[in-house]
Amino acid sequence: MAGRNCNSFSTGVLESAKFIYENADDVTISEEACKRAAKSIYTSMQEKSYSTDTWASNLLNPKTKDASAVDWIFLVDLLNFSFWSDVDPADTGKSESNRFTVNWEGTGWTGYWSLCIPITTPTYWNNTQKCSDELLRYVFRSDTLECVPLLSERIACLREAGRVLTEKFEGSFINCVKQADGSAVALVQSIVENLPCFKDEAEYRGRSVKIYKRAQILVSDIWACFNQQSYGYFRDIDQISMFADYRVPQILYNLGCLQYSDALTTHIRNLQVIPNGDPREIELRGCSIWSVEMIKSEILKAHPDAKVNSILLDFYLWDTAKELQRTAAVSNSIPCHRTRSIFY
């Protein structure tokens, strides 16, 4: 199947983010803070030599550069959603010891890293006799009192993906990558068109808006894993935006880039849930995307040859936010917003 010509279309995420930013009530962006953040982020990224190599340096990310790495990345990003904890000490002051945790080789892994498991065959997920719900519940068992959130939804995502990849892509996501023919935009479109559990869209101000957090991070993780080569080569990778979750908006707020209404600030500080699809949630996510675009624009304005895009900025901000979480450095700042959703 020939790849699509990506020159005439985009993911629609940036257009949606701009619309949300221009119409938001409860979330605004400080252009001055984005300029300051651009300077400090660029300096820090240069000091750390931050690049796609940084992604591969994590202990749990794959070190091989072959089709098995693509299948592993697909599985992880298929299930990469809603790991915020009711007992996160950075937000609640409660003990870390009860958080959903998976112990591996002497280390307790929480959040996204607790997900990195070696079951990567879609035909296996599609076989409910060999891969029963009971077995999957055992796979996702916790080493603490807190269970993994949305377990039934994660199992449903596995079943859906197993069926679609078996029926349409000869049992492997690698064939979906090949059909995209080096276009990140085409791959994102293929993912959301074929797998409803990735179709991260909402209604806002009478308009359908696209956010596509997991579809975009799936493409970006492949790009980073393969260091922009082989399966990770995408000629239009810079059309991918940041990945609007609950952790990056938190650090953007701490940097002053995002500003919240008093009502929203109180709601988040009180650890109250914001329903998926609520206008406040859409504004948090859309303005986060547009804020990172502003930061990127400022960096490239000052350093036209900088090797930076929205993906690397997101990776950097997420890593920084997690480090602050581990050191409890954000304990006196705003918590992450609380939305249970399969989309992030």
Distance CA 144, CA 57 (A): 27
- Record the pTM: 0.87
Active-site residues, by number, are: 245
Residue 330 has pLDDT above 50, yes or no: no
pLDDT single digits (tens) 146-198: 788 899 999 999 999 999 999 999 999 999 999 999 999 999 999 999 999 99
pLDDT single digits (tens) 241-270: 999 999 999 999 999 999 999 999 999 999
CA distances from 22 to 18, 184, 241, 284 (A): 6, 27, 17, 13
Neighbours of 144 (CB within 10 A): 18
Q: Please state, for a pLDDT cut of 70, what percent of the chain lies above it.
A: 86
pLDDT single digits (tens) 288-310: 999 999 999 999 999 999 999 99
Residue 96 has pLDDT above 60, yes or no: no
Residue 4 has pLDDT above 50, yes or no: no
Lowest mean pLDDT among 35-44, 250-259, 315-324: 315-324
